[in-house]
Amino acid sequence: MKRPVTAATDRRVREAFIELSSRIVIEQAKGFLAERLGGSVDIAFGLLRGYPRDHNRKLTEVAADLVEGRLQVTSGPGGG
């Protein structure tokens, strides 16, 4: 017998989907930065985390902007 979908279950499913989507875009941005800058994904993640902190933005928004071409990479680590 199937259990009915409750509002709480529906909310948990939506939250899980959003979390997974956020992780996917962050991983894509890490890979993009690592490839573009010729560094490791650990260095890329450090750079990716620093930008939203310095510009008062959410990490997932910055990652999406980077992956979708709305945010440009202008220099590598130590490149100013």
Under 8 Å between Cβ of 44 and 37: yes
Q: pTM of the full predicted structure?
A: 0.76
Task: Please report whether residue 77 resides in a domain.
Answer: no
Task: Please report whether residue 17 resides in a domain.
Answer: no
- Residue 8 above 50 pLDDT? yes
Task: Please report whether residue 16 resides in a domain.
Answer: no
Q: What is the Cα 50 distance to its own chain's centre?
A: 12
Specify the number of domains making up the chain: 1
Number of neighbouring beta carbons within 10 Å of residue 31: 13
Which tens digit of pLDDT belongs to each residue from 19-75? 888 999 999 999 999 999 999 999 999 999 999 999 999 999 999 999 999 998 876
Domain hosting residue 35, numbered range: 26-72
- What pLDDT band is residue 80 in, cutting at 50, 70 and 90? very low
Question: Pick from 5, 1, 62: which is nearest to 32 by CA?
Answer: 62
